[in-house]
Structure 1
Amino acid sequence: MSATHRPLGAQISHMLKSRGVSVVFGIPGVHNIEMYRGLEEAGLTHVLARHEQGAGFMADGYARASGAMGVCYLITGPGLLNSTTALGQAYSDSVPVLAIASCLDETAARKGQLHQMKDQRAAAETVCAWSETALTPDAAYSLVDRAFGEVASGRPRPRALHVPIAALGAPAPVFPAAPPKADPPRPSDSQIRAVVDRLLAAHRPLFIFGGGARGAASAIPRLLDQTGAAAFTTYAGRGLVPPDHPLLFGSFLARPDSADVIAEADLVIVVGSELSECDLWRTDLGHRSAMLRIDIDPAMLSGHAPDDLVVQGDAGALLQAVTVAIAARIDNRAPAWSAQQIVARRDVWRAAVAAERPGIPEICDVLRDALPDDAMIYSDMTQFAYAAKEIWDMPRPGHWHHPYGFGTLGYALPAAIGGAVARPGLPTVAILGDYGLQYTLPELGTAVELGLSLPILVWDNAELGEIKDAMIRAQIAPNAVVARNPDFIALAEAYGAKACTPETLQALARALSDALEAGRPTLIRMTPALVSLG
């Protein structure tokens, strides 16, 4: 097909390929088949999901693993709506996803059309950075490039592009060459000096690193040594500080008495974190000092006290510059924090997790030791993950992904599929609960089709354990928290996957290692009896 005679649907696929996209997740339907006309010719790989929510989660998982845009192709109306849970999760967790959906050509005068809804564009806008309809090829091309440009220069979040069915099938001119991309905002020399001055004036500085600080990973250990600062990480920031660093408090921010520790600091530096409810589970951080806030999103830099310092910019560029500037003024400072007291505090917090969720810490230790350092983990909303996020230190950043703010069930399996596609040959693991697995269980078929050596660790406590515990704490008689589970082993084998229920911790470690080499997914059912059985 000549480049000058392609329908718009095919041109969009070729344009995506030219912008660096290699994989698209989706489901073809009668309305969006023109988007599939040019897929193979463009050199794109299409991964067939079993549900549009799964396609959205796969695009999310791919983006988190690769650092590139995740793309999904959707059909009009219900296909787009099915994906909005995944798009909402991507929005909450700052994940770059581009959803491209067909839409009806006209909805005002004609009613009762297939897949018709009142306002498809507005529906997607509720969970995306923006949602726009392209009525012409030029508009479609402009919006695609706008999505890629904004993600490169600002906070990454999902975008939705809707293209009318007739336009997708109509001839379209060739898309333009890629425009230059803007860089993220960079701090000025005066801002860098102000940050350095604040750090050197502090006697007991404390850093809090969030997932948005990932670009600064190489600078962070040096910065802590230079300043003598201690550090917390958010759940999303795990791995930014080496796990064996003596002044790392870990990812225990949500422990209520972490506020007492934070109150001891004379400067709190928050880098790349919203400090959201899901980071703290309390109304305020607990600091009594001034705060230094560094974030790429200006919305995070408002509402601060007069003595605080806020800097908008890329955390990686800023902290690299700060380490250079500090080195020119001082050698490393002796820490004012006690490493022994930090270890003791971490031990207390781990013991609290173990008391709240018996058996899970021991299983976490076994799994962590059995996994290679470059393993990438995707977890779901399950008690197992809630405990693991606090006690499972990561050897490198950006290798544990969880549906944080939006908190969607069913995330882990399809997201892990997307992550495994992004990192062929590298270890990827899904961790989820017995109930959450059933939200997106059919995506197991996709993992089998792709031949992914994907361990799927299922915490089967035969109940909605977190909700049951919450009801008991609220003095509500537990209700609707027990559902009849299927035979997960038989289900997995019916899809063509491997499956097992290890009876000891040693057998669990062997099963995990075998699953990473299996050539197909393996469902590994874990039960609370694992610890008592040894």
Structure 2
Amino acid sequence: MNTSLTRPLGAQMSHMLKNRGVDVIFGIPGVHNVELYRGIEEAGIKHVLARHEQGAGFMADGYARATGKPGVAYLITGPGLCNAMTPMGQGYSDSVSMLVISSCLDEVANRRGQLHQMKDQEGAARTVCDWSETALTADAAYGLIDRALVEFETKRKRPKHIQVPIDVLGASVAGPSDDGLRGSLPLARPEDVAAVAEWLGSAKRPMFIFGGGAVAGYNEARELMALTGGACFTTYAGRGVVASDNPLNYGAYLSTPDSTREIESADLVIAVGTELAEVDIWRTTIGKCATLVRVDIDAESLQDAHRADLPVMGDAKTFMRDVSDLLAGHKHNSQWDAAHVKSCIAGWRAETDAARPGVAKFGDALAEILPENTMIYSDMTQIAYVLKNTQPVDRPGHWHHPYGFGTLGYALPAAIGGKVGVGDDPVISIIGDYGFHYTMQELGVAVELGLSLPIILWDNGKLKEIEDAMVRSQIAPNAVIAQNPDFCKLAEAFGAKAVAPEDIAGFKIAVTDALNADGPTLIYITPDVGD
């Protein structure tokens, strides 16, 4: 960058982001943030125009999850930022590197009634992200951008929010330094690595639990499994860290009560890159562990209720590599029984089918036809709840879901962001009828961009999961049915393709065709789709 060239700060910020490796920005321009848009084209950044700021936030989230690069959103003051707070909260729960940049009013302490005014915009955003700060000068804006980018590399990935007053955005200023900050994740202490290697060397039934923090180290995880003869569970975010066909991989069935029995049968449990969250285990504890080791870069996670005999703070990938190096040549004497693991999985699969009958067949069909590198984005819907357990995932970081915050409407815009990020690689969206109502307008973005995106819409005509919860609680079902449109006609009105297959064979054809189409395709399915 030419630091001597003066431009309005908003334009300088776009040039700085480009210089730091940002190629795509999601957002919506408004009268308060127009200065952010002055330099986007000049800097060579692609801008994706969302139809709602919630969609922009989810697109940034989906892009970040797909590419490993920060997802950036430009938003306006007040309602624009508020509309994106749900995606920010989702990104915070799921460890997503999202950078939200918004405008803010120049003065609020002694003025009321201004357009888009909030009592405390910075504070409001802070409730759903890692930090929220106001840049009152150009140097502050540059410094905060570099701080956010380096923290994405050196800490747990979580959204950051930077807001800049309108007048400051428009002021002509010199550009920032060409040199961005760089950093690396913290490394485990050598004595901790040595202790874990020694314990693994003598363990007969080592058990690993791999979370989303282990995704980047999946090769190291697989090597460690082979060296030790260990069995494993994965969290939902950790699916694919170990291949589904590994005979000692119990899969993502941690939420099954019987998983406690299997974990308690281990003589050493090592949880890598997971906070063992409620949404992974759906109970207060994973079970009584003979010895528990936890590896994480987040000190807060290591101090939570799942207290470990040895908490290890450090990068999961490096930790697993270093442990494997110490175990080189080790001959394990594993007592895990692959037939028993297979039997457990079969039983849990049967329980899943019984709880939500007629759903898993769609996942089985997808497993037959989807290319190996397909990126999947799912929503809070019963079809996803089933497939998160039953669908095989052999590549890490290829199934994305709103795990923690648990918002509806995530899958469509997130899949759009993911598709923008991965280009020609296949991406699909799986969403329920009610969740589709939340962000259906973003279908226009997929049409506008000509994205080959299958959108599998599961319509059971109601909030079925909530209805089931009411029945279990002995509450007469209430407020669980909403009037749906003709979704196929709606998609066609946007300019998308639409198909309603009548059987599984037709479903497989529809998905295959949609992956090769020159635009998005809505694939409408119901529980009545036959075998």
> TM tier, shorter chain?
over 0.9
Match of 1:513? 512
Read off the aligned partner of 1:144 and give its amino acid letter.
I
Give the Cα separation in 2 of the matches to 1:205 and 1:105: 58
State the AA in 2 paired with 1:513: T
1:464-520: CA deviations, max 9, x gaps? 010000000111100011111100000000000000100010000000000011110
**Does the 8 Å CA contact 2:203/2:267 hold for their aligned counterparts?**
yes
Whether the 8 Å CA contact 2:285–2:306 is kept in 1: the answer is no
Partner in structure 2 of residue 319 of structure 1: 320
Q: Indicate yes or no: 2:230 matched with 1:229.
A: yes
Where in structure 1 do 4 or more consecutive aligned residues deviate above 4 Å? 303-307
Residue identity opposite 2:417 in structure 1: G
Q: Does 1:471 align with 2:475?
A: no
Q: Could you say which residue in structure 2 is the equivalent of 1:41? A: 42
2:278 corresponds to which residue? Answer: 277
**3-state SS, counterpart of residue 440 of structure 1:** helix
User: Partner of 2:24 in structure 1?
Assistant: 23
Measured in 2, the distance between the counterparts of 1:205 and 1:525 equals 44
Letter in 2 for 1:444: L
Distance 1:416 1:372 in 2: 16
- Distance, in Å, in 2 between the alignment partners of 1:75 and 1:86 is 15
Judge conservation of contact 2:130–2:158 (CA < 8 Å) in 1: yes
Q: Percent identity?
A: 56
SS at match of 1:438: helix
Q: How does 1:88-237 map to 2 (within 5 A)?
A: 88-237=89-238
- What is the match of residue 238 of structure 1? 239
Amino acid in structure 1 at the alignment position of 2:247: P
Do residues 451 (structure 1) and 461 (structure 2) align? no
The question of whether the paired residues in 1 share the 8 Å contact of 2:212 and 2:273 is answered with yes
Instruction: Return the alpha-carbon distance in structure 2 between the equivalents of residues 78 and 60 of structure 1.
Output: 19
1:136 & 1:362 partners in 2: Cα distance? 57
What SS does the aligned partner of 1:34 have?
helix
Given that 2:455 and 2:523 are in contact with CA atoms closer than 8 Å, whether structure 1 keeps it comes out as yes
- Point out where structure 2 has 5 or more consecutive residues left out of the alignment: none
Give CA-to-partner distance per residue, 1:206-252, whole Å, 9 cap, x none: 10000111121011222112111100001111101111111011110
Secondary structure of the residue that 1:24 maps to in structure 2? strand
| 1:200, distance to aligned residue in structure 2 (A) | 1.6
- Give the CA deviation at 1:306: 8.3
How far is the alpha carbon of 1:114 from its aligned partner?
0.2
Q: Is the 8 A contact 2:429 2:453 kept in 1?
A: yes
Task: Name the TM-score, length of structure 2 as normaliser.
Answer: 0.98
Report the Cα offset of residue 180 of structure 1.
3.5
**Which residue does 2:346 correspond to in 1?**
347
What code does the residue aligned with 1:519 have? Answer: D
Cross-structure match for 1:499? 498
Separation in 2, partners of 1:236, 1:53: 22
Establish whether residue 439 from structure 1 lines up as the match of residue 438 from structure 2: yes
1:272-320 alpha-carbon deviations (Å, 9 max, x no partner): 0010110001111113311010001111112578870111111011101
What SS does the aligned partner of 1:327 have? coil
CA contact (8 A) 1:50 1:446 kept: yes
Question: Does structure 1 conserve the Cα–Cα contact (< 8 Å) formed by 2:459 and 2:525?
Answer: yes
Tell me if the contact between 1:265 and 1:287 (Cα under 8 Å) persists in the aligned partners.
no
**Cα separation, 2, equivalents of 1:35 and 1:147:** 18
User: Who is 2:424 aligned against?
Assistant: 425
Aligned to 1:404: 403
Say which is worse superposed, 199-208 or 441-450, in terms of deviation: 199-208
Look up the SS of the partner of 2:346 in the other structure. Answer: helix
1:102, 1:165 within 8 Å by CA — same for their partners in 2? yes
Per the alignment, residue 356 of structure 1 pairs with: 355
Look up the equivalent residue of 2:23 and give its one-letter code: S
Q: 2:294, 2:308 within 8 Å by CA — same for their partners in 1?
A: no
Deviation at 1:189, TM superposition (A): 2.1
How far apart, in 2, do the equivalents of 1:251 and 1:474 lie?
27
- 1:126 Cα deviation (Å)? 0.2
Paired amino acid for 1:188: R
Quote the residue 1:309 is aligned against: 310
Preserved contact between residue 145 and residue 178 of structure 1 (Cα < 8 Å): no
Q: Which amino acid aligns with 1:473?
A: R
Partner secondary structure for residue 475 of structure 2:
coil
CA–CA separation in structure 2 for the residues paired with 1:50 and 1:306: 44
Q: What CA distance in whole angstroms lies between the structure 1 residues aligned with 2:21 and 2:323?
A: 32
Q: How many residues align?
A: 530
* 2:212–2:274 Cα contact (<8 Å) kept: yes
Asked whether the equivalents of residues 204 and 333 of structure 2 are also in contact (C-alpha less than 8 Å), the reply is no
Spell out, residue by residue over 1:353-389, the C-alpha distance to the aligned partner (whole angstroms, 9 max, x if none): 0001111111110012110010000000000000011
Evaluate the alpha carbon distance shift between residue 67 and residue 320 of structure 1 in structure 2; reply closer, same or farther with a 3 A threshold.
same
Letter in 2 for 1:388: L
**Counterpart residue identity of residue 137, structure 2:** T
Question: Corresponding residue for 1:392?
Answer: 391
Instruction: Assess if the C-alpha contact under 8 Å between 1:268 and 1:287 holds in 2.
Output: no
Q: CA deviation at 1:417?
A: 0.2
8 A contact 1:295–1:312 mirrored in 2: yes
- State the SS of the aligned residue for 1:485: coil
TM-score of the pair, normalised by structure 1: 0.98
Superposed displacement of residue 204, structure 1: 1.1
Tell me, yes or no, if the aligned pair for 1:69 and 1:96 is still in contact at 8 Å. yes
Give the match's secondary structure for 1:282: coil
Structure 1 position 76, deviation (Å): 0.3
Counterpart-to-counterpart distance in 2, 1:355 and 1:71 = 42
Which whole-Å CA distance do the structure 1 matches of 2:307 and 2:267 have between them?
A: 16
Unaligned runs of 5+ in 1: none
Q: Which amino acid aligns with 1:428?
A: V
Amino acid at match of 1:110: R
Instruction: Provide the C-alpha distance between the structure 2 equivalents of 1:285 and 1:6, rounded to a whole number of angstroms.
Output: 56
Structure 1 CA distance for aligned equivalents of residues 23 and 333 of structure 2: 49
CA distance in structure 2 between the aligned counterparts of 1:292 and 1:528, rounded to whole angstroms = 43
Deviation at 1:420, TM superposition (A): 0.1
The match for 2:486 is 487
Q: Distance in 2 between matches of 1:307 and 1:275?
A: 12
The Cα shift of 1:324 comes to 1.3
Contact conserved, 1:92 with 1:406, CA < 8 A, in 2?
A: yes
